[in-house]
Structure 1
Amino acid sequence: MPDDLSSLRLVATTLAGKWTLPVVYSLKDNTRRYHEIRRHFPKATEKMIIATLKKLEKDGLVKRRIYPTVPPKTEYTLTPLGFEVLAIAQSANALAKASTAIESLKEARGGLFS
């Protein structure tokens, strides 16, 4: 059991950043350049997006590819691990939506199913 908890803590710590899952989600369909990712999150600071991308790369969820052009071109894409994390996040999101829908249904029916 302790190993399970330490693994769970590691995953939770990896995904805990405010912009981590949104950035992962923004890469779900395409490889993107930094400015494309940045455009998705106008409320995030440049520093936060850069830090998030660096952490995702360090954690193995995102691969960064630098092209030797002037100016340099950098692209980000999800790794296989990144796609696994995305699938888990999407499942958790579906569960949360279903739970919310169930609770709303219970409330609408006057708590008959509690």
Structure 2
Amino acid sequence: MPEFLYKNKLYYNPVEFAMDRIGGTWKMPILWRLKDKVWRYSELRRNIAHITDKMLTSQLRELEEEGFIHRKVYAVVPPKVEYSITEKGIQCIPVIECNRNYGLSLMEEEGIGED
């Protein structure tokens, strides 16, 4: 496959393109949690260990901009915001599950237990 340009970034293959959308430390864990239910920001923050507010906000924005999640804002005080997965996001779940299973297999080979 020839290289291609998308949003002013040059890509060399479809794997690189996909990983740029859902890769990194935090996007897959966010999508994994949203696969089963709607979450509020504070719930995600408490449930994803070691993620900072700044990083969670940034990753949620990127996932929303790419169409993987939906952000619903309620006109109430205090503000209420809920995040849910979109159809595009649901399409990622089998990929994330494969990565998770592969990671568990590697951990087992190395004698590392799942926390």
TM-score, normalised to structure 1's length? 0.77
Task: Identify the residue that residue 97 of structure 2 maps to in structure 1.
Answer: 90
**Displacement of 1:16:** 2.1
Report the CA distance between 1:98 and its aligned residue: 8.4
Cα-to-partner distance string for 1:55-113 (whole Å, 9 max, x where unaligned): 1001110000001111111000000010111122113333x268649x95xxxxxxxxx
The corresponding residue for 2:8 is none
Greater C-alpha radius of gyration: 1
Answering whether residue 16 of structure 2 is matched by residue 9 of structure 1, we say yes
Corresponding position: 1:68 with 2:75: yes
Q: Which residue, 40, 60, 63 being the options, matches 1:53?
A: 60
* Structure 2: stretches of 5+ with no match in the other structure: 5-11, 110-115
Deviations 1:41-66 (A, max 9, x none): 23111101110100100111000000
Range with greater deviation from structure 2 (11-20 or 31-40): 11-20
Q: Which residue of 2 aligns with 1:22?
A: 29
- Tell me how many residue pairs correspond in the alignment: 102
TM score, norm. by length of structure 2:
0.76
- Which runs of at least 4 in structure 1 moved beyond 6 Å after TM superposition? none
Question: Counterpart of 1:63 in 2: which secondary structure?
Answer: strand
The two structures, once aligned, show a CA RMSD in angstroms of: 2.4
Task: Give 1 or 2: higher strand fraction.
Answer: 2
Match of 2:71, SS? Answer: strand
Q: Say which of 18, 23, 45 aligns to 1:38.
A: 45
Q: How far off its partner does 1:28 sit?
A: 1.4
SS in 2 for 1:65: strand
Q: What SS does the aligned partner of 1:43 have?
A: coil
Among all aligned residue pairs of Structure 1 and Structure 2, give the percentage whose two residues are the same amino acid. 31
Q: Shift in Å at residue 3 of structure 1? A: 6.4
Distance 2:80 2:59 in 1: 18
Name structure 1 gaps, 5 residues minimum: 105-114
Structure 2 distance, partners of 1:66, 1:31, is 13
1:35 partner letter = S
- Larger CA deviation: 4-13 vs 66-75: 4-13
Q: State the shift of 1:18 in Å.
A: 1.1
